[in-house]
Chain A
Amino acid sequence: MTYLTKPKLHHPTLQKNKVGYTRRDYEGKISTLCAGCGHDSISASIIQACWELDIQPHRVAKLSGIGCSSKTPDYFLGSSHGFNSVHGRMPSVLTGANLANRDLIYLGVSGDGDSASIGIGQFAHIMRRGVNLTYILENNGVYGLTKGQFSATADAGSKSKRGVVNRDAPVDTVSLALQLGATYVARGFSGDKKQLVPLIRGAIAHQGAAFIDVLSPCVAFNNHEGSTRSYDYVREHNETVNRLDFWPTRDAINVEYREGEVIDVPQHDGSILRLRKTQPDYDPLDRVKALNHVAEHQAKGELVTGLLYIDPDADDLHAHLNTVDMPFNQLGVKELCPGAGVLEKLNAAMR
């Protein structure tokens, strides 16, 4: 961390996006995390993705729970809505917010403790309900705020900084999300922004439950020999299935690829996700195969990254519940409180 605020001065060529903001306008307060924390790189990636997507900051709501990861929404999108909820309870608060105002872009930011331990129940249900959000899990395998105990995502056999070997089986959140019905499932690495930024862009554009597990080394407590979440280990065991290019319109597609190298996935809003395969046989449209692939590589101690699964025809909680199209704050008193007569009718229909 640093005591100073980041100087306002910027590079003379710093660009503005279509809505008139520079990348620096999407920053938040100065981070108070440890120097070198992977989470800060994730914050930088979110800033970059939101700038590239020309998002108006006041159209974003960022929600988090408790933990190092859950502190980070203070460090990006300083002009957006924020809610720092109870430990592990971000999903229920976010679900409520999303039901009340479906027009905002929802970012759920959480950590491995927040999502895989205390909040695993909430995590499961927000995925299966298909709430339209981007769920970013900043996964470092340890409890940093309490000095480096193993978290629920730590691999069996990995060593803590003090030399203790973890005997418990890990929770694999990617597999969980796949099983529970998330419609956009990816894994990234905080040390590879070229991969991570497009994954976040794709997740924000995805109209359904999008989940990104981001491996984010804890420099203070989990970046040593024997750790399976260190910069070195992740770099050595990273098995990337594909590279994502995010194309806002069809017209922008002009790069030549050889047959079989790319998959174009059209989105609801007319945009296209273009995937460049790095493993020729990997099919990101098949949930079951994705599950198997992740499991096979996990058994070998490898970390599969990239866009692992996408359902191009995804829908969300509002579609499941057949809710009204307008957010509550745009409905009038008449619509929100239709009166005793309507209630009477409704009650009568239930009898």
Chain B
Amino acid sequence: MKPTDIGAPDYFHKVVDCQWACPAHTPVPEYIRLIAAGRYDDAYMVNWNSNVFPGILGRTCDRPCEPACRRSRVEEAPGEGAKGAAKEPVAICRLKRVAADNKSDIHSRLPVVPKKKNGKRIACVGAGPASLTVARDLAPHGYHVVVYDGDLKAGGMIRSQIPRFRLPEEVIDEEVGYILGLGVEFRAGKRVDSMKALLAEGYDAVFVGSGAPRGRDLDVPGRKEASKHIHIGIDWLASVSFGHVKKIAKRVIVLGGGNTAMDCCRTSKRLGGEDVKVIVRSGFDEMKASPWEKEDAAHEGIPILNYLVPREFTHHKGKLTGVTFEKVAAQYDEKGRRSLKPTGEPLQHFECDEVLVAVGQENAFPWIEKDCGIAFDEWGMPVVDKITLQSSVSGVYFGGDAAFGPKNIIWAVAHGHEAAVSIDKYCQGEDVAKRPPPMVHLMSQKMGIHEWSYDNEIALDRRYKVPWRDASQTLKNIKIEVEMGFDRATAFKEAERCLNCDVQTVFINTKCIECDACVDICPMDCISFTINGEEKDLRTRLSAPAMNLTQDLYISATLKTGRIMAKDEDVCLHCGLCAERCPTGAWDMQKFLLEMTPAGPGCRSRAPKKEPVPA
């Protein structure tokens, strides 16, 4: 294998599994250390810069970082003396909330908006997370950003679809307020009905962040007849959020297995639903809802019934009486693809008074005229560049659910950042396809012979649970938040579980005397000195086999004895013992800080602008 190029920003970035997995590339270990140090304001701002909505995401994020967390690969397996506890990642998401909960007034740290604008006007369609991110990234650079939304308050799906018992309204007001406070013009209650009309207003660029606003319906017999008692999940949740709906019947069936279904059933429980069930086509494990959201529903005593496909809404005199289901079973073909086949058992009927349909969301762009030049694909989705987020019309960008279909808030934020970079470059007359590289810092953490500026001792604690408010209290009032968040002491202990994967093991081959001290001390058998070879072969003959192919091998140049140093990044604890035991400083622990380059001067070309040649 060739020696690893640690100068390439991606190499060490991949080692920070959480940051690599985060669509917005939040420097997770950095803010977790700040939380451990009690520097909540600093931790909050690290988050705010990357993901814009720390308080909101700290409660609602889909947390792609957590399945990626190295901690869940290195903890002892159940039964190995750890009281049977499962291997679990660091509670990254809920630590984010700790920063938001404990910070002081951070207004003074927000970007200063220049008095003199740059003359460019940007329109954002929809006031959801994607549009607000674009607005936040552009407003501090003198752009005049106008955000349109049909609702009276900004926030989009954050405000309309996420129930208050998961996300209090104050948190939304606060974090949306930081952005609108940057001189962003919010046109409340002004739904954009025509793209043509919008384009005619002469904006320098348009960003479409209108989400996936249409809840999918279920076209089975009885749907029309009983329509008074059948509601589309996201629309119903929005009506609840805005106070139009205040109660529901006693017997409720929620159809669907995603996070919206979980929000629907838990909301029903709080609005008078006594017998609330979730009924899903698929099996429990294949449900789209996040495991923790299913757990939350189960905690509130809501049964989830699987492998039942709705066939008919039964009704009597215009009143819904129940739903009939067909039992199915999962079958796998030779390629491992799953299909649901009827088992042939008699249809099952469940009685109920109201049904909430939460079987998916769709994009809808009735307001974009066919002849305004924006191309759509055969599925009705806009043709959007995956990196620049530009549509077929230059100057028109899409992001969030509007661009590639329903995802989640953190993806919307990531799109917002990229679209802001594109818009900035576009407005400055630059090529949007030339993307700015991220900013990378690599700095030694050495303070003394065996002292580091990070806490390198490995805590053996298992993941701490976020305390829940008592169900008897939370089920009575839809506005009482269920999770209470970590207190500071627990947050410290949870933060100590973080392995500081951003503090990298950097190897300087010219200093190595091949004494084996690092090999001997490494608790995870990550380090080997061996003869070089092809990666496939090398992976089998290291101190411990490196079988996780998603994790890289760190390879040095050839050493004095003709061997190389090979380090398997997979299960490294970043404890720094290799560096402490190294007599020559060939190993050093260096903090890798990667910051995505946001819109603004940093993302623009450094080449001098070409003056137009005089005629």
Contacts and interface: CB of A to CB of B under 8 A. Distances in A.
B248 interface: no
Interface in B563-577: 571, 573, 575, 577
B583 interface: yes
Q: Top 10 A-B pairs ranked by shortest CB distance?
A: A36-B583, A7-B458, A44-B520, A2-B580, A11-B544, A219-B583, A36-B515, A35-B583, A11-B525, A36-B517
Interface in B543-561: 544-545, 547, 560-561
B520 A9 contact: no
A35 B561 contact: no
B516 A193 contact: yes
B515 A219 contact: yes
B496 to A, nearest CB: 13
B74 interface: yes
18 contacts: A4-B456, A4-B457, A4-B577, A9-B74, A10-B523, A11-B544, A12-B77, A35-B517, A36-B582, A38-B515, A41-B515, A41-B516, A44-B520, A191-B515, A193-B516, A232-B513, A232-B560, A235-B560
B270 interface: no
Interface-central residue, A9, A10, A38, A219, by most chain B CB under 10 Å: A9
A162 interface: no
Task: Determine chain B's interface SS by DSSP, over half rule.
Answer: loop
A14 B544 CA distance: 8
A34 B515 contact: no
Given A2-B581, A36-B581, A13 B544 contact: yes
Nearest to A38: B515
Contacts of B515: 36-38, 41, 190-191, 217, 219, 231
A235 B561 CA distance: 8
Given A4-B575, A10-B524, A35 B77 contact: no
Interface-central residue, B520, B526, B575, B582, by most chain A CB under 10 Å: B520
Contacts of B580: 1-2, 4, 35
B517 A7 contact: no
Interface string A224-266: 0000000110010000000000000000000000000000000
B521 interface: yes
A6 interface: yes
A11 B582 contact: no
B80 to A, nearest CB: 9
Contact of B517 (A6, A40, A220, A223): A40
B244 interface: no
B76 interface: yes
A191 B514 contact: yes
A232 B561 CA distance: 9
Contacts of A345: none
Given A6-B521, A7-B575, A8-B76, 10 more contacts: A4-B580, A8-B460, A9-B74, A12-B74, A35-B580, A35-B581, A36-B517, A40-B521, A44-B519, A232-B513
Nearest to B82: A8
A191 B525 CA distance: 17
B83 interface: no
B517 A37 contact: yes
Given A1-B450, A7-B458, A44 B73 contact: no
Given A9-B76, A13-B544, A36 B575 contact: no
B584 interface: yes
B75 interface: yes
Contacts of B525: 10-11, 14
Interface string B302-327: 00000000000000000000000000
A12 B571 contact: yes
A41 B517 contact: yes
Interface in B489-533: 513-517, 519-521, 523-526
Contacts of A220: 583
Contacts of B519: 44
Q: How large is the interface on A (under 10, 10 to 19, 20 to 34, 35 or more residues)?
A: 20 to 34
Interface-central residue, B77, B450, B457, B517, by most chain A CB under 10 Å: B517
Nearest to A220: B583
A260 B518 CA distance: 38
A231 B561 CA distance: 10
B589 to A, nearest CB: 13
Interface in A106-153: none
Given A9-B458, A35-B583, A41-B520, A2 B513 contact: no
Contacts of A44: 516, 519-520
Nearest to B525: A11
Interface in A182-240: 190-191, 193, 217, 219-220, 223, 231-232, 235
A36 B76 CA distance: 29
B517 A11 contact: no
B515 to A, nearest CB: 4
A13 B520 CA distance: 17
Nearest to B459: A7
Contacts of A217: 515
A232 B582 CA distance: 17
Contact of A34 (B73, B77, B458, B583): B583
A7 B513 contact: no
A1 B520 CA distance: 12
B76 A231 contact: no
A232 B514 CA distance: 10
Contacts of A43: 520
Contacts of B526: 11
A38 B583 CA distance: 11
Nearest to B526: A11
Interface in A1-56: 1-4, 6-14, 24, 34-38, 40-41, 43-44
Contacts of A8: 76, 460, 523
A219 B517 CA distance: 11
A6 B544 CA distance: 17
B523 A9 contact: yes
A22 to B, nearest CB: 10
Given A7-B573, A232-B560, A36 B544 contact: no
A30 B576 CA distance: 14
Contacts of A40: 517, 520-521, 581
